[in-house]
A and B are shown apart, each in its own frame.
Chain A
């Protein structure tokens, strides 16, 4: 795969196999495991290729164990690939050169780098020193990020006394102190309540707009993906099976849209059969599933043929579509 100078990240035929031991249950199995251990290679990522441009926000989707975190760990240089190539901004990540490490960061949900018994500020000053920031630079940067993350006196309270949301925001601050241009985020909103999730999301979106940083994100919360990632990469059993924009994925997953109608007067169900598949009919409320190519005509006819108070068109919930996708492991 030739590398275009405009690409920031190039992943070419990347594979990672983990060697694991196989143990049978019971005493006999234990003895056999002790004296004659059998190991085999489990493919975590198989032959994956893609490119990412600077400033993109890309979401990695997949069920548990699909290989998305392994992929992220290879891209940030934490683990070595078994075969294939990763290039991030001209660096080979697994070599972990200082210039590369100063350009990236990794945030893992519910994993902490902050010192537990000290306030986050102490860890922040350690990070500032490690990344070679002057005291003035560190102060300005901490103030800027703290304002964006709505953190104040929490930074001077011991980490153990902070709520999960405050802790996660402090972790993000620590991870971004050195102004990285590539962010690897593995489940950054894991375990947070809805409000805290929304704040982290809006922060990441704002950070991307302000700095032009490239963000690679895995999350089990579809709200994270839909709010942040115009592009998604779907992985199933270690293999890439979709790389494109989220809207196209939703369209290909669901060729129909939901049309919800509120009528002035109740109507019999037979009257709606010619417009689409009836999902629900309750007194004056009707929900129809209409194919996208017929949508304009159907809506126009409904407005002409019935006395309508309200009409709403929506996609089926993306969580439901993606959930079905993970089970299938392919896009039609």
Chain B
């Protein structure tokens, strides 16, 4: 059996090795998990100003949304641009390019292993949040949990592909992390990390929904927190973006590799 052209053995070995690697950095990962508390800051900001009602949410709804946004972010965060740029400039990419495994699979494995390492820290942070806000406690139903899990993985896939697209520009610019800012700013404002998208004026919301960003945080977080959401169209949009981005990354990668000069390698 093969998944994305990879044998189960390759997938298992990559994941276990990367997990072992991530465990070497468990303290750093705990700190990374803690550094993702932006949704909690936003929650405290919006709840103190009592503007939650204008978003169509009460305090409990707001708390659940931002905790869900935090959890979705924990399992969809991507840093492939930075890893790729470092590998490209240090020459580590060269041996990877000469192995019968697409280098991007190594980054996928490292992200998935890191997500597994983050899991206990994310749970601990969620428990602490419930202790501090007992009224916001809720347990999603099994189907809700499954759909949230699926949409979070699709969100991760979209984010990974978007960054891979920028990372492939490294073959031209060698400093593609600067270009990553072009994605990060709209991501910050349009993903739902700072505010639920329902707070946006309808014309801004219409434009935002044409981009991939609302499907990275807002859509999975709404499912997890139990807010009303158009599940069918949400998944359809996620699948559509994945189907656009996969061939785009593939084409850009193939063009980029032709330009690779293996400088510093």
Contacts and interface: CB of A to CB of B under 8 A. Distances in A.
| B and A form one assembly | yes
Interface of A: 18, 73, 76-80, 94, 96, 98, 101-102, 104-106, 108, 111-113, 115, 117-118, 122-123, 125-132, 175
A175 B123 CA distance: 41
A73 B262 contact: yes
Nearest to A171: B95
A79 B261 contact: yes
Interface string B85-119: 00000111011111111000000000000000000
Nearest to A132: B7
Contacts of B260: 78-80
20 contacts: A73-B94, A76-B98, A78-B94, A79-B260, A79-B261, A80-B258, A80-B260, A94-B258, A101-B99, A106-B98, A108-B94, A108-B265, A111-B92, A112-B92, A113-B95, A115-B17, A118-B20, A122-B17, A123-B17, A130-B99
Contacts of A131: 99-100
Contacts of A73: 94, 262, 265
B10 A78 contact: no
B21 interface: yes
Contact of A106 (B20, B95, B258, B261): B95
B24 interface: yes
B17 A78 contact: no
Contacts of A125: 13, 17
A118 B21 contact: yes
A129 B9 contact: yes
A79 B256 CA distance: 11
A111 B260 CA distance: 17
B252 interface: no
Given A78-B94, A101-B100, A106-B95, A129 B10 contact: yes
Contact of A111 (B20, B25, B265): B265
Contacts of A130: 10, 99-101
A113 B92 contact: yes
Given A108-B265, A112-B92, A118-B17, A77 B99 contact: no
A113 B14 CA distance: 14
A331 B12 CA distance: 55
Given A73-B262, A108-B265, A113-B92, A126 B97 contact: no
Majority SS at the chain A contact face: mixed
B168 to A, nearest CB: 16
B216 to A, nearest CB: 29
Which bucket holds chain B's interface residue count?
20 to 34
Contacts of B92: 111-113
Best-surrounded residue of A18, A117, A129 (most CB of chain B within 10 A)? A129
Interface string B36-65: 000000000000000000000000000000
Nearest to A107: B95
A78 B262 contact: yes
Contacts of B17: 115, 118, 122-123, 125-126
Contacts of B13: 125-126, 128-129
A106 B17 CA distance: 22
B94 A111 contact: yes
Contacts of A76: 98
Contact of A117 (B10, B21, B91, B99): B21
A79 B262 contact: yes
Interface in B11-39: 12-14, 17, 20-21, 24-25
B109 to A, nearest CB: 9
A77 B98 contact: yes
B98 A96 contact: yes
Q: Which 8 residue pairs of A and B lie closest in terms of their CB atoms, listed nearest first?
A: A129-B13, A113-B95, A98-B100, A117-B24, A111-B91, A101-B100, A129-B10, A130-B101
Contact of B97 (A96, A112, A128): A96
A1 to B, nearest CB: 24
Nearest to A127: B99
Contacts of B14: 126, 129
A40 to B, nearest CB: 15
Contacts of A108: 91, 94-95, 265
Nearest to A133: B9
Contacts of A175: 95
Nearest to B12: A129
A118 to B, nearest CB: 6
Contacts of B98: 76-78, 96, 101, 104-106
Nearest to A175: B95
A118 B262 contact: no
Nearest to A131: B100
Nearest to B13: A129
Given A78-B260, A106-B95, A131-B99, 19 more contacts: A18-B261, A77-B98, A78-B265, A79-B262, A96-B98, A101-B99, A101-B100, A106-B94, A108-B94, A108-B95, A111-B91, A111-B94, A113-B96, A117-B24, A126-B14, A127-B99, A129-B12, A130-B99, A131-B100
